[in-house]
Structures are given as C-alpha cells and as structure tokens.
A and B are shown apart, each in its own frame.
Chain A
Amino acid sequence: METIDMRKAYDPAFVAQVQAESGQNLSLCYQCGNCTAGCPYTFVYDIPVSQMMRLVQTGRREKALSARSLWLCASCESCTTRCPNEIDVARVMDVMRHMARREGYVSEPAVKTFWDCFLDSMRRHGRVFELGLVAAFVARTGRFWTDMDLGPRMLPKGKLSFLPHGIQGKDEVRKIFERFAARSGS
C-alpha cells in the first residue's frame, strides 16, 4: 500500500465543488460510520459510504470519483436518515455521481447506460416505456440475459406493454428536459 502525501493528495477545488453543489458542510462528519452501518448496499460497494465521505474530506478527487459505490448507490437515503450530524449523505453521493459523469470517471458503465436509457424513455414518452427501455438497454450493452427471467412473469400481469402509454402534458416533461439541458449546457 502506498503512502499518501496528505498535502499533495488534497484537491481543494474538489472539496469546494462537492460542498457547493451539495450544500453540505463536510467537516461536520466525524466518521462515526452510521451511514455505512445502515446502508443496504454496502455488500456490493468497493468503498463504504463513510469512507466516501472521508475521501471528500481529504480531497481525494481521483479515488472518490472512480469508486464503483457511486454507481451502485440506490439513493435510498438511509445514510441521510441515520446521520447524527444531519448531513445529507445521499446528496453528496449524488453530487459526486454527477461529477464522475461529467469528468468521465464512470466505473460502472452498465448502470450509467441504464439511467441514460431510462431518461431517454422519459423524454420521449413523458413516462417510462418499460419494453422500450429494456430494448434500448440490451441494444447498447448487449446484456441480453439480464433479468430475462422476469419477462414471462411480468407479461401476464400487464407490466410489459408492447406500446408506450402516452401521458397528458408530455410537452411539459420534454420542456423540463430542455430546460435542464440548456442550464447545464449539455
């Protein structure tokens, strides 16, 4: 294990950016670990959420943004609920996920692709079109067998319609996307 030079490894711009975008004061975290203790996804994480917080405190941009945990977080907000210092930990994870996406650190491409497909479907139909989403996801990732077993069970329950359902106010939803795109310049 290499020795970390605390001064060199500290990226002040990274810390400032996470704090500004999340609106959270990261020095409030005293590393009690309650977020990790309550997190239902720790079992798949490469870095537990309390250590993700520590990585931000110590300004470790590279290591934090390339963590797989960022993409495996379900945003269930157990961490936020448990935090004794009332830090919105899930928000911090969310902010870093966005940063990772912007800065090309995506360590779980399949998860990112799924979300992109989900958002595309939303943009197009105003709500998610499940079968279209699956098709797009499979087309982009080639993961044909993922969750294949669920299809036969969902079909008879009417959960997988062959045609998209329209909604009222589809234009308004599209405008939300446009507004977001205009504001974030993407």
Chain B
Amino acid sequence: MKIGVFVCHCGSNIEATVDTASVAGTARAFPDVAYATDVMYSCSEPGQDGIIQAVREKGLDGVVVASCSPRMHETTFRRAVERAGLNRYMLEMANIREHVSWIGKDREANTNKAAELVRLAVEKLRRNRALFPKSFDITRRVLVIGGGVAGIQAALDCADGGLDVVLVEKTSSIGGKMAKLDKTFPTVDCSSCILGPKMVDVAQHERIALHAYAEVEEIGGYVGNFEVKIRKKATFVDWSLCTGCGLCMEKCPSRKSHDAFNEGVGLTTAINIPFPQAIPKKALIDARFCRQFLKGKCGVCAKVCPSGAIRYEMEDEVITEKVGAIVTATGFDLFDHTKYGEYGGGRYPDVITSLQYERLLSASGPTGGHVKRPSDGREPRTVVFVQCVGSRDTSVDRPYCSGFCCMYTAKQAILTKDHIPESQSYVFYMDIRAPGKLYDEFTRRAMEEYGARYVRGRVAMIYPKGDRLLVRGADTLMGEQVEIEADLVVLAVGAEAAAGSPALAEKLRISYDKYGFFMESHPKLRPVETNTAGVYLAGACQGPKDIPSSVGQGSAAASKVLGLFSRQKLESDPQISQVNQRRCVGCGKCALTCPFGAVKMIDVRGEPKAEVIETVCQGCGICAVTCPQGAVQLEHFTDNQILAEVNALCQS
C-alpha cells in the first residue's frame, strides 16, 4: 500500500505551535508512507489539487490529512480523494488543530503529539477498505409538527414545491401564538389580517393534510422513510359534519370554561370554536367543563346542532403516516410569572401578562378590543409595563434574553395610546434590544411620538394600594428609587421552551439544550438542520424568535426538505454494523442495547442469530462493544482498526 501524508499549516493556526515540516519528515518513516509534505491550506483549491496530483503521480492508495477536526472538513477531503480516483473511505484525518495546536503552547511537545496522531491515522488507514453506500427509495412526503406561523410557512413552501405535507397541530386550530396577537411590530399591521390568508391557504391546499387537535405519539424509521404514529385526540364532534356555524356555542349552558385562546381573560363555553378565523373552523368539547361529561345529562349541543355532529362517545384515534422528512415547529411557551412573588404571584387581577394584554387589545378578544381592567372593567389611565419578567434572570433559571419583548412592549405602549389617548404608559427596561430592520426606530417612536415614558431599571415590587397598584422600581440613570401608582400592570413575560419539548426531542432523537430548546446542527452554518438526518427545525422551538425570523426558518426548513427530496434516491452510510453470523451465538445483547431498534434476531437453521437492518443502523457502535463474541463489527471502525491505533500509540 502507498500512503500520502499531508500536514496542514492552517495559516498560523497549526504552524504557530506545530513544526509541520518536521511532522511530515517523521511521517516519511512510517510504514507504507510513500509521500509526505506540509501544506499551507490543505482545504483550499490549490491544497486539494495538490492532494489529487500526488495521488495520481505517486500512485497513492490512501491519504492522511493532518489538519482540523473531521467535523470541519472530512467531507471536503473525501470528495478530493474521490476526484483523485480513490474510494472516499481511503482517507483518514489526524486532528492536529483542535486536539493539538489550539490547546498547547509547547512547540516541541505539540510536534511530537502531532506526529503520533499521524502515526495512528496511518496505522488505521493501512487496514481501511473501500466501502460503498447503498441507495434506497424516498417517501416524498413531509411531516410538519406545529401549526404556528413557522410550521404554516414550512408546510406551504413544501406543498408549493410539490410535496405532500402532513401538518400536525396540538390545539384545535392552527395559527399558534401569532393568531393571538392584535398587531405586529414594527409595522403595526393587524396580525390576523396577515396570518389569516396563510391559514386559509393551508386549509385549501390540496397537498396539505391537516390534523388539528392531534399529537405525535411515536416516530420510527430513518431519513427518507419515517413512520409516524399520530394521536388524534377526541373532539366529541364529528368534524366531517361540523360546519362551524357556532349554534352550539350560543346555546351551551356551561359558560364558565377556561378560555385558552384568550389566555384565561374571560371565560368561554364548554363547546367551543376558539376564534372566528380558526382553521379548521370546527367545534370542540372541553370535557373538563361540559355538563354532559360532568353530570351525565345536558345534551343541548347535540339537540341544536343542525348537522347532528356531536359524538359524546368519541375516543382518541391513532393513525400512522409514512413520511420522508420531518420539520418540527413546536414554538414556545410563556414564562410563568406567578414565580415572581414580588409581582403578586398571580394574586392581583390587574397584573397581567403581555399576551393577556394582547387579547384585551384585540377586536376579537373578550372585551371586543376595549382595554378594560380585569378587576372592575374600568379603563386604565396609567399603564406600567415591566420588561424582562423571566428573561435575563439567573435567579429563576432564565439567564437568556427572549429577544422580542422589548419590541412588543413598545408596540403595546403605542397601542395603549391609540386605544386610550388620555392614558400614560411607563416602561421599566434594563436595555432596549432592537436589532432589526426599523426596530430601533419603532422603539424611538413609542417614546417620541406616543410619549411612553421609559424608566431604566427593574421593578422590585408591586402591591395593591386602594383599587390601584403601587409599582416600586429604580431609575438607575437618576440613581433613585421611584414609584408609580398604576391602574394596570403588564408583565413582559419571556419565552421558554414549549411544554413537552424534551419528550418530543427524544421521540425525534434530536438534542435539546438545558432549557428545552432544540439544538441546531451548527449555530451559524446549519441553523435549521439537526444532527438527525431528515429532521429539521423552524421557529421558536430552537430558541426565542420573532415572526420574521420564524417565517424565514420555516422557508429555510422547507428548502432543506425540497433539496433532500430532489435526489432520486438516498444513499445509506456504509459505516454501519455487520454481524459475522458464524461467530454470533444469538445471545441478543446487541438487539437489547441498540437505541435505534436496528438489530433484529432471525432464525438461521434453527439457531437465533443477530442481523442488522442496514437502513436503520446509525453506526453508533454500541452493539459492537456489547457483543461478547466480537461478532458485530462496525465498518470503518473495526476492532482491528482501533487496536492497530492503540498499538501504534503504545508501542511508539
């Protein structure tokens, strides 16, 4: 075998603390090494051409590149050796940047360590063999989880691109948080007016199958061929018959049900269509409040329904869908402000969240768009906004900035003045975060044109004084303690991961951070991909995000799915486990440990044997280390290859 070694300077990243020329010199003495050199930038075009030229001219059979992490450039160099006519698995990388030059300053020690890593790579490469991927068919359908604005955008873009889309939404209508907003920043255009048409498009698109009031129960399979079980929760209304006329809501006698769409501001009926623009516009019975369920008698809705759609005996139904890719757009939840005892912990009716205030401002809200205090229905004159409630606060384990609260608070201050011209708004803020097109101008407008008084400081306590609220805070620019008697206090609650996010992430086999937000594949360069092939992210499930960013990610995820499906067939990674059935004793330990269910036990002439399902195997290697017989081997990382590296390290 003839091996070529290329030791990269990476500019000064490696060369500053590693003598690359000396490493190349040392490498020439390693077994089978026919050629070794140092290169300024091996990933650059001339660098890659140099590798290709050397392979051709020296007749090399394998290449070692000693440079950065394979996470960075393995694909680059695999393509290069392939262009040179070799199999792409005849490449090994020695990571002498992250593992050597960046972490040590001693040039001599670094040079020695780099040479040792090259020796390991050479020893492994001597035992490499050509591997060939297999190709398999793709199910050209996509599952979108979550019907907020990010999920809607992803679903529409995929469907417009010619894909069949399965859209699963947890609540009874799509629209998400955006549907609850009155206006949007920085344009102050009506939220439901711009979202409504998109929601209608979803309903009418022939390629989109919408499952509202449904949740993903189980996900099996792999990129290109997922099998998803979806639980369609019982609505107690046959949606194929329900016309959304709303007669049941008019007659329902149980009028004290929790109004989730209106964030608990006001009450609603047990049978309910959440809002006029709901998609699908279908009624749903909340069994926690329905008299038929609680007392066993009522049946008013069943009597009045003109289409006879009520089904009290309905049960959950689990359906199975086959898809080739998944976009998760499960959004966010709001911080629970009752954790702040000093702001009343939820005891004061006139201390409300920003989203509750949004419902008070909205014409489709419980007050018809008239701002009234929840306690006595009076119109507030002095409104105090408190920012960073559950943001940038380590003491409640929310150290991150939620990003959009500064903007929606400015918007709400502007809308307050629009609704009640004689009102005065105060905004307690720490810093104004307005990095976006026309964003800072917008917050300035709240102050300059609408006269909102911004106070730089946090609020320490809120307590009742008569029928008003005393807000005690600080103005750190003046260095003084200040207080304001307010009629209404609006808490700008931050974003947190949607309830159940970790559980969903585990079903999808994707990572999540300590707050429950899903992890992207790369924070800058792969923002909507995950580390699980075929699973993509959109919107605030990845981290707090405003509407433009969520829509952008929805489109980005859709383009990733369309790109994936543009291929005729997908290639499987050949770095997977193989069972040597002559050595297998059929103990079944590999099948038990496999986290992907990729090992199945089969019967070979009356004896149990393990077999790997090639398309399901992710190449993690757990089965290989579990097998007591050494019968399972992970291709490209066989015991012989790894032991050769260990030997090289221990015997040098």
Interface residues of A (CB under 8 A from B): 28, 30-39, 42-43, 47-48, 50-51, 78, 82-86
User: How many A-B contacts are there with CB distance less than 8 Å?
Assistant: 72
Whether B479 pairs with A51 at a CB distance below 8 angstroms is yes
Q: Name the A residues within 8 Å of B607 (CB-CB).
A: none
Whether B474 pairs with A48 at a CB distance below 8 angstroms is yes
Pick the contact of B474 from A28, A37, A47 — CB < 8 Å?
A: A37
What are some 15 contacts across the A-B interface (CB < 8 A)? Answer: A28-B394, A30-B392, A32-B474, A32-B476, A33-B456, A34-B458, A34-B460, A35-B474, A38-B460, A42-B480, A48-B481, A51-B476, A82-B342, A82-B460, A85-B394
Also in contact, A48 and B395, with CB within 8 A (given A33-B458, A37-B474): no
Whether B476 pairs with A36 at a CB distance below 8 angstroms is yes
Interface residues of B in 437-492 (CB under 8 A from A): 456-461, 472-476, 479-482
Q: Name the B residues within 8 Å of A82 (CB-CB).
A: 342, 458, 460
Closest B residue to A84 by beta carbon equals: B393
Say if the beta carbon of B430 comes within 8 Å of chain A: yes
Task: Give the complex CA separation of A102 and B430 in angstroms.
Answer: 36
Closest A residue to B478 by beta carbon equals: A48
Also in contact, A33 and B394, with CB within 8 A (given A39-B481, A82-B460): no
A35, A37, A42: which has the most chain B beta carbons within 10 Å? A37
Chain A min CB distance to B626 (Å): 44
Closest A residue to B480 by beta carbon equals: A48
Whether A34 pairs with B474 at a CB distance below 8 angstroms is yes
Q: Name the B residues within 8 Å of A83 (CB-CB).
A: 395
Task: Give the complex CA separation of A51 and B456 in angstroms.
Answer: 14
Task: Give the complex CA separation of A54 and B528 in angstroms.
Answer: 41
Whether A37 pairs with B481 at a CB distance below 8 angstroms is yes
Whether B476 pairs with A50 at a CB distance below 8 angstroms is yes
Q: Name the A residues within 8 Å of B395 (CB-CB).
A: 83-86
Q: Name the B residues within 8 Å of A32 (CB-CB).
A: 388, 430, 457-458, 474, 476
Task: Give the complex CA separation of A50 and B388 in angstroms.
Answer: 18
Pick the contact of A33 from B393, B396, B457, B461 — CB < 8 Å?
A: B457
Whether A42 pairs with B481 at a CB distance below 8 angstroms is yes
Whether B474 pairs with A50 at a CB distance below 8 angstroms is yes
Task: Give the complex CA separation of A86 and B480 in angstroms.
Answer: 22
Pick the contact of A37 from B388, B392, B393, B458 — CB < 8 Å?
A: B458
Whether B430 pairs with A86 at a CB distance below 8 angstroms is no
Chain B min CB distance to A33 (Å): 3
Interface string of B566-610 (1 = CB under 8 A from A): 000000000000000000000000000000000000000000000
Whether B430 pairs with A36 at a CB distance below 8 angstroms is no
B394, B460, B482: which has the most chain A beta carbons within 10 Å? B460
Chain B min CB distance to A90 (Å): 14
Chain A min CB distance to B513 (Å): 20
Whether B474 pairs with A36 at a CB distance below 8 angstroms is yes
Chain B min CB distance to A170 (Å): 41
Whether A50 pairs with B430 at a CB distance below 8 angstroms is no
Also in contact, A38 and B394, with CB within 8 A (given A32-B430, A33-B474, A82-B342): no
Task: Give the complex CA separation of A50 and B477 in angstroms.
Answer: 11
Q: Name the A residues within 8 Å of B460 (CB-CB).
A: 34, 37-38, 78, 82
Chain A min CB distance to B484 (Å): 12
Task: Give the complex CA separation of A51 and B480 in angstroms.
Answer: 10
Residues of B in contact, count (CB < 8 Å): 23
Task: Give the complex CA separation of A78 and B481 in angstroms.
Answer: 14
Task: Give the complex CA separation of A85 and B342 in angstroms.
Answer: 16
A28, A30, A34, A85: which has the most chain B beta carbons within 10 Å? A34
Whether B479 pairs with A37 at a CB distance below 8 angstroms is no
Whether B394 pairs with A36 at a CB distance below 8 angstroms is no
The list of the 3 closest CB pairs from A to B, nearest first, reads A33-B474, A38-B460, A37-B460
Q: Name the A residues within 8 Å of B458 (CB-CB).
A: 32-34, 37, 82, 84
Task: Give the complex CA separation of A24 and B497 in angstroms.
Answer: 31
Chain A min CB distance to B309 (Å): 51
Q: Name the B residues within 8 Å of A48 (CB-CB).
A: 474, 479-481
Q: Name the B residues within 8 Å of A31 (CB-CB).
A: 476
Interface residues of B in 388-441 (CB under 8 A from A): 388, 392-396, 430
Q: Name the A residues within 8 Å of B393 (CB-CB).
A: 84
Q: Name the A residues within 8 Å of B396 (CB-CB).
A: 84
Closest A residue to B393 by beta carbon equals: A84
Also in contact, A37 and B457, with CB within 8 A (given A48-B479, A84-B393, A84-B395): yes
Closest B residue to A40 by beta carbon equals: B481
Task: Give the complex CA separation of A37 and B461 in angstroms.
Answer: 8
Chain A min CB distance to B357 (Å): 22
Q: Name the B residues within 8 Å of A28 (CB-CB).
A: 394
Task: Give the complex CA separation of A48 and B457 in angstroms.
Answer: 13
Task: Give the complex CA separation of A50 and B474 in angstroms.
Answer: 9
Also in contact, A84 and B392, with CB within 8 A (given A30-B430, A39-B481): yes
Q: Name the B residues within 8 Å of A30 (CB-CB).
A: 392, 430
Closest B residue to A51 by beta carbon equals: B479
Chain A min CB distance to B24 (Å): 45
Whether A37 pairs with B394 at a CB distance below 8 angstroms is no
Beyond the given pairs A38-B460, A82-B458, A84-B392, 10 more chain A to chain B contacts, judged by CB atoms under 8 angstroms and listed by A's residue number, are A31-B476, A33-B476, A34-B460, A37-B474, A42-B481, A48-B481, A50-B479, A84-B393, A84-B395, A84-B396
Chain B min CB distance to A167 (Å): 37
Whether B392 pairs with A33 at a CB distance below 8 angstroms is no
Task: Give the complex CA separation of A36 and B396 in angstroms.
Answer: 20
Task: Give the complex CA separation of A30 and B429 in angstroms.
Answer: 12
Chain A min CB distance to B44 (Å): 41
Whether B457 pairs with A36 at a CB distance below 8 angstroms is yes
Task: Give the complex CA separation of A33 and B474 in angstroms.
Answer: 6
Task: Give the complex CA separation of A42 and B342 in angstroms.
Answer: 18
Q: Name the A residues within 8 Å of B457 (CB-CB).
A: 32-34, 36-37
B395, B472, B474, B482: which has the most chain A beta carbons within 10 Å? B474
Task: Give the complex CA separation of A7 and B176 in angstroms.
Answer: 52
Chain B min CB distance to A30 (Å): 7
Q: Name the A residues within 8 Å of B394 (CB-CB).
A: 28, 84-86
Q: Name the B residues within 8 Å of A78 (CB-CB).
A: 460
Q: Name the A residues within 8 Å of B476 (CB-CB).
A: 31-33, 36, 50-51
Interface string of B594-632 (1 = CB under 8 A from A): 000000000000000000000000000000000000000
Q: Name the B residues within 8 Å of A47 (CB-CB).
A: 479
Task: Give the complex CA separation of A82 and B430 in angstroms.
Answer: 15
Whether A33 pairs with B473 at a CB distance below 8 angstroms is yes
Q: Name the A residues within 8 Å of B388 (CB-CB).
A: 32
Task: Give the complex CA separation of A34 and B430 in angstroms.
Answer: 10
Q: Name the B residues within 8 Å of A39 (CB-CB).
A: 481
Task: Give the complex CA separation of A86 and B482 in angstroms.
Answer: 23
Whether A36 pairs with B481 at a CB distance below 8 angstroms is yes
Q: Name the A residues within 8 Å of B430 (CB-CB).
A: 30, 32
Whether A37 pairs with B472 at a CB distance below 8 angstroms is yes
Q: Name the A residues within 8 Å of B392 (CB-CB).
A: 30, 84
Chain B min CB distance to A160 (Å): 35
Task: Give the complex CA separation of A85 and B395 in angstroms.
Answer: 6
Task: Give the complex CA separation of A39 and B396 in angstroms.
Answer: 20
Pick the contact of B459 from A37, A50, A51, A85 — CB < 8 Å?
A: A37
Q: Name the A residues within 8 Å of B475 (CB-CB).
A: 33
Q: Name the B residues within 8 Å of A36 (CB-CB).
A: 457, 474, 476, 479-481
